[in-house]
Amino acid sequence: MADDLYAVLGVKRDASDREIRQAYRRLARQWHPDVNPGSDEAESHFKQINAAHEVLSDPDKRRKYDQYGDQWQHADQIEQMRRRQGAAGGFAYQGAEGVDLGDLFGGGGGGGRGGGGMFDSLFRRAGGRQRGRDLETGLRLTLEEAYSGINRTIEVRGGAEPCRACSGSGQIAGATCHACRGQGAVTTPRRLEVTIPAGVTDGQRIRIAGKGGSGGNGGAPGDLLIRVEVIPHPRFERRGDDLHVEVDLPVADGALGGEVRVPTLKGKALALRVPGGTQGGRIFRLAGQGMPRRAGGFGDLFAKVRLVLPEPMSDEQRALFERLREVSRDASTGSTAEPATETAEAAGAAGARSGEQTEAAS
């Protein structure tokens, strides 16, 4: 991504993990496609926000980004080359502008037959079998997909791997290998079908053995790590294995009792019977309607009641509310409005008599 990732999330470079997480959630809710249906601008912003969060929320990726900028994805290769050649004084990385990546990957002007790039050192060295490196990729899921689990085809870009045509030598029968152009390594995206289990959590890593980088000299391949990112839902909030949702309840049903429909991630609404006298903010627990648990079973769904007035309000409804206010006021004071005014005046007179004490207290 060419844009500065910190600027995308609107945070400082020394922002804490919590500040990054809060900024991401705020922006994700603002630009979520479900909240902005049909908006190409919102979709573009949402992708940028997710891409920035994927890097900055991961300590290792963030460290690489801070050091190498837009070339952070090549950090492992750069650091490996530095370790191998640093003792000889032949390599020193000084930031994104201090090195020619073409030279690192054998694409610079000095890369003649057989190549002169970094992968000559990585793949043409003598030794025994070398295990392939682990690869990591991100996968974004909706909360519904995390609830049910999915099968998804993903594309894995694992950087350079030894060329199978020339076995990493860069030459075939003394001639330059055309498959890798003499570099001894090729970059070929792979498509894999992976299974994401139900109940997966945001930030969880799923390891798929043997699907990482190819090993050298007949070594075993590395593993593939899939880092899951669960997109914030516009209505449900997940807390562990539990879900929280707000539901609207007409004020009359809150006073007298009634029924409210509670949505679930199964796609079906449940009928919740609320008793009379239900106040706004009261929370009802629906057992077993939350997220799947790894050990089996489900979490719970907590529905928070939000009292709502009729809109628009009819003349009859307004008259009834006015009558309710009068009755409620009479019940709370135990007297009519006129004595209440006299009481207020008496209180004012009493306050005037004690004004000297009041001023002193203040």
pLDDT digits (tens, 9 = 90+) for 299-348: 999 999 999 998 888 999 899 888 888 888 877 675 444 444 333 343 44
Predicted local distance difference test score (pLDDT) of residue 161: 64
pLDDT digit string, tens, across residues 53-100:
989 998 888 888 888 787 777 777 666 666 555 444 444 444 433 344
pLDDT at 270 over 70: yes
CA–CA distances in Å: residue 198 to residues 194, 195, 207, 287 = 13, 9, 15, 18
Please give the helix or strand (H or E) that residue 273 lies within, else none: strand 270-274
| Distance, CA of 105 to CA of 112 (rounded, Å) | 12
Do 125-232 and 237-308 have matching folds?
A: yes
Domain limits, the chain: 125-232, 237-308, 315-361
Predicted local distance difference test score (pLDDT) of residue 114: 41
pLDDT digit string, tens, across residues 119-150:
444 444 434 677 878 888 889 999 999 999 99
Q: 237-308 maps to which CATH number?
A: 2.60.260.20
Do 237 and 245 meet the contact criterion of CB atoms below 8 Å apart? yes
Alpha helices of 69-200 — where are they, by DSSP H? Answer: 75-85, 101-104, 118-123, 143-148
Predicted local distance difference test score (pLDDT) of residue 86: 47
> In this predicted model, which residue has the larger pLDDT, 75 or 239?
239
Predicted local distance difference test score (pLDDT) of residue 342: 39
Please give the class, per CATH, of domain 125-232: mainly beta
135-141, strands of its sheet edge to edge: 135-141, 224-230, 205-208
| Distance, CA of 334 to CA of 320 (rounded, Å) | 21
pLDDT at 361 over 50: no
| Distance, CA of 9 to CA of 43 (rounded, Å) | 15
> In this predicted model, which residue has the larger pLDDT, 96 or 44?
44
pLDDT at 15 over 50: yes
* E strands present in 117-264: 135-141, 150-156, 161-162, 171-172, 175-176, 185-186, 190-196, 205-208, 224-230, 237-239, 242-250, 258-262
Predicted local distance difference test score (pLDDT) of residue 126: 38
Taking the whole predicted model, whether its pTM rises above 0.75 is answered as no
Q: How many CB atoms lie within 10 A of CB 305?
A: 21
The pLDDT mean for the chain works out to: 77
Do 200 and 146 meet the contact criterion of CB atoms below 8 Å apart? yes
